[in-house]
Each structure stands twice: as structure tokens, then as C-alpha cells.
């Protein structure tokens, strides 16, 4: 039995029971986004669209994005719509012209991400979970999706980590970990560490309190408000004509993403953003305004919805390779890139991602070089 890998009969039974329970549950209802963003009840006609709702005031924001995630068991990647609720780093209600220009520049190719490459002998920084089992070197474990299972007191399994997301730590002080717990002799906590990388081993030189987990970044709305500001009016994004138009233009545009530009509430203005990756933006806007009646911002995007779907599928095909350590894929909310979260960006990972298109990808590794 390997306590770090979690290859334990009890663990397997618990995972199987949890998987069976989840499979038997009815699907969660999709949120009524018209009611969330405009305070009106949808008619229920036509297919629903999953629209990210982004608050633009200092309050909690709800963001829904399509994620491709590495499942806890099995080898096939799965896709799920994953809402995240929590404090957000929120954009201003109306960006300056400089901000709009900056956003447009951000929709250009992201390059090869070479500044994040890690090679043997490099000094690196990492922050997150540390697991220490008896008679075994402590491990750093990259963040990864796990099933939420409630355990009775005293029945929780030992902390474990998928083999492809483990990094051996030399010189870490387990007693100094934050939020240190022990289950069946296996200790678990969190820390920020700096040290030297060598073949999935870090020789720790500095240790401190852990840093906040990486959060989704909300890009600012690309459009300046019109004269007199954005008006309060319903956004008919779920209307059959609107959904039909957007579905027929998946190869051209990305979105929609809705912004509550004055903060949450039923009497606040909502703006729908659509990014046009291919073709004439003015012509696209003119055609869309024939079916859409709400506030609208049309701007540049690098990826269309079809582009994003293709990238997500291609990256998902790499997630069963433990040597790559890829955990999550999601599309930037302005269609600027497909963002890939992973353990560490090495030359081997770069080579695996290259056929997909490095210029369309932005990597977000948990282990980063210290320049």
C-alpha cells in the first residue's frame, strides 16, 4: 500500500461509493440567468445558454466558464460547467480608452509562454498542499478537481495525490505547515516554498505561509459607456432568435459574457459582450442587433466559440498523460486564449502542446521559475 498514492482498499471503496452516489443524482437545474442579471423570469422557450455573470462592484461575483478537468479516477477527461462563487478582482464600471486598447492587445497571440519554462537547476517558487507520510519524503501536490464527499467523523481517507501531480520535497519543515492536520499518520498542510528544481524534486531553500490560490481573472469590459451611460433594459439572451443566431455564428464569435456594470440588482444596467474572432465586427454587430435588444459590447477576440471548443477538446486528450500534469483547461472570458493549468511547464509539456497551437494558449503552472 502506498499512502501517498492513496492506493488503499478503503479509499477505493469510498471513491466508488461516491461515484455511484453522484451518478444516481438528478442533474442540477441551470440558473435562470435572465432573472439573475435582469430580475425577470425567463419564458422557458428555446435552449438555454450558460452565460458568465460578472459583477462590476466590490461584491461577490458569479462566473461560469466551461472547464475541461482531470477526473479523480479513470483516464478520460470530462467537461463540466463549473460555477465559482467568491470575492472577485472586479473591473471598473467603464474602462478608460487606454484600458480598451490594452484589452485589444491582449487578444493577440500569447506566444510560447517561454518565460514560464522550468528546467533542471532552475530556481522555482510554488505554493499549495504538502503531504507527508511516515517513512516517505514529503510531497507537494498540485491543485486538482476532487469529488466532494462527506465523511463521518474519523472515517475520512488519508490525504493522497495523483502520481502525475506529485513533486518530491527535500528540506521542507512539516511542523511549520499552515493548517496542519493528521489522518492515520499522514500529515497534510500548506506552504509557500522556493528552491531548486531537478526532475520533479525541489530542494527547498525558503519556506513561508501559503499564498492565495490562483483565481480566475475577470477582464474589463472592452467598450466605453455610451453618452449618458448604459441604460437599464432587459437582455433577451435566451430568446429563440438570439440563441439561434449565436449557435449559427459559433465559428465567428465568442460569448456572450454579461457584465453588471453598476453592480448587482434588478434595477442595474447589464451589458452583453461578444468577441468577434473572424470576419467584420461591424457587420456582425449590425446583424446581431436585429434579434438582440439589450446593451451590447462587440470587441475583438482571438478565439471563436468553435475555436475554444476545439482547443478544449485537444487539451482534454492530453489529460490522461500523467507525465504532463495538466489539471484544467478553460477559455479566457474575453476569448483571448485557452488557459491551461498544470503542475509545471517543461520542455516536454511545451512539445506536447505545440501541435494544438501555442499561440492560442496561456499556461498557468503552479511551479514557476524565479527570474
Query: What pLDDT is attached to residue 219?
Result: 87
**H-helix or E-strand containing 85?**
strand 78-87
- Decide: 360 and 338 in contact? Cβ < 8 Å: yes
Q: What percent of the chain has pLDDT over 70?
A: 67
Average pLDDT over residues 334-362: 95
Give the pLDDT confidence of 212-232 residue by residue, as tens digits. 876 777 789 999 999 999 999
Q: All 3 cell numbers of residue 69?
A: 478537468
Query: What pLDDT is attached to residue 149?
Result: 66
Helix axes 305-316, 347-357, angle to 10 degrees: 140
Domain parsing of the chain, residue ranges: 117-208
Average pLDDT over residues 187-210: 97
pLDDT of 86 over the 90 cut? no
Question: Which residue bears the cell 485557452?
Answer: 338
Total Cβ atoms within 10 A of residue 331: 23
Check residues 247 and 91 and name the one with the higher pLDDT.
Answer: 247
Query: What pLDDT is attached to residue 212?
Result: 87
Give the pLDDT confidence of 9-22 residue by residue, as tens digits. 444 544 555 555 44
Give the pLDDT confidence of 237-279 residue by residue, as tens digits. 999 999 999 999 999 999 999 998 887 666 789 999 999 999 9
Query: What pLDDT is attached to residue 50?
Result: 28
Characterize the bridge pairing of strands 338-344 and 326-331.
Answer: antiparallel
Average pLDDT over residues 149-165: 81
Q: Does a cis peptide bond (omega within 30 degrees of 0) precede residue 91?
A: no
| Cα–Cα dist 53/63, whole Å | 6
Average pLDDT over residues 167-173: 98
Question: What confidence category does residue 58 fall into, taking pLDDT thresholds of 50, 70 and 90?
Answer: very low
Exposure class string for 193-208: b at 16+ Cβ within 10 A, else e? bbbbbeebebebeebe
Question: What confidence category does residue 362 fall into, taking pLDDT thresholds of 50, 70 and 90?
Answer: very high
- Decide: 284 and 253 in contact? Cβ < 8 Å: yes
| Cα–Cα dist 173/307, whole Å | 45
Total Cβ atoms within 10 A of residue 141: 20
Give the pLDDT confidence of 137-154 residue by residue, as tens digits. 999 999 987 766 666 776
pLDDT of 133 over the 70 cut? yes
pLDDT of 47 over the 50 cut? no
pLDDT of 41 over the 70 cut? no
Query: What pLDDT is attached to residue 185?
Result: 94
Check residues 122 and 20 and name the one with the higher pLDDT.
Answer: 122
pLDDT of 70 over the 80 cut? no
- Decide: 270 and 261 in contact? Cβ < 8 Å: yes
Amino acid at each position: 500500500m502506498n499512502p501517498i498514492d492513496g492506493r488503499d482498499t478503503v479509499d477505493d471503496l469510498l471513491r466508488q461509493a461516491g461515484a455511484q452516489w453522484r451518478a444516481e443524482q438528478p442533474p442540477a437545474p441551470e440558473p435562470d440567468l435572465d432573472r439573475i442579471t435582469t430580475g425577470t423570469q425567463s419564458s422557458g422557450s428555446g435552449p438555454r445558454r450558460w452565460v458568465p455573470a460578472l459583477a462590476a462592484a466590490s461584491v461577490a461575483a458569479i462566473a461560469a466558464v466551461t472547464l475541461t478537468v482531470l477526473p479523480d479516477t479513470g483516464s478520460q477527461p470530462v467537461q463540466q460547467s463549473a460555477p465559482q462563487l467568491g470575492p472577485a478582482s472586479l473591473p471598473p464600471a467603464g474602462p478608460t480608452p487606454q484600458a480598451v486598447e490594452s484589452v485589444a492587445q491582449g487578444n493577440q497571440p500569447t506566444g510560447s509562454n517561454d518565460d514560464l519554462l522550468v528546467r533542471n537547476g532552475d530556481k522555482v517558487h510554488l505554493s499549495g498542499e504538502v503531504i507527508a507520510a511516515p517513512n516517505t519524503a514529503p510531497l507537494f501536490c498540485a491543485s486538482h478537481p476532487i469529488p466532494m464527499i462527506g465523511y463521518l467523523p474519523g472515517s475520512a481517507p488519508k490525504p493522497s495525490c495523483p502520481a502525475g501531480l506529485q513533486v518530491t520535497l527535500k528540506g521542507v519543515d512539516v511542523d511549520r505547515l499552515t493548517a496542519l492536520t493528521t489522518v492515520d499518520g499522514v500529515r497534510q498542510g500548506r506552504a509557500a516554498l522556493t528552491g531548486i528544481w531537478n526532475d520533479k524534486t525541489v530542494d527547498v531553500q525558503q519556506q513561508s505561509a501559503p499564498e492565495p490560490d490562483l483565481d480566475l481573472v475577470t477582464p474589463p469590459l472592452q467598450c466605453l459607456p455610451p453618452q449618458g451611460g448604459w441604460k437599464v433594459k432587459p437582455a433577451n439572451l435566451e430568446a429563440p432568435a438570439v440563441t439561434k443566431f449565436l449557435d449559427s455564428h459559433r465559428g465567428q464569435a465568442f460569448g456572450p459574457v454579461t457584465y453588471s456594470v453598476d453592480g448587482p440588482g434588478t434595477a442595474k444596467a447589464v451589458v452583453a459582450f461578444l468577441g468577434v474572432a473572424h470576419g467584420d465586427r461591424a457587420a456582425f454587430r449590425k446583424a446581431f442587433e436585429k434579434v438582440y435588444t439589450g446593451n451590447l459590447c462587440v470587441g475583438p477576440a482571438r478565439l471563436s466559440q468553435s475555436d475554444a471548443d476545439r482547443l478544449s477538446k485537444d487539451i482534454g486528450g492530453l489529460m490522461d498523460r500523467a507525465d504532463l500534469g495538466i489539471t484544467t483547461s478553460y477559455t479566457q472570458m474575453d476569448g483571448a486564449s485557452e488557459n491551461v493549468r498544470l503542475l509545471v511547464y517543461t520542455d516536454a509539456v511545451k512539445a506536447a502542446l505545440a501541435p494544438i497551437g501555442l499561440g492560442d494558449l496561456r499556461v498557468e503552472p503552479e511551479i514557476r521559475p524565479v527570474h
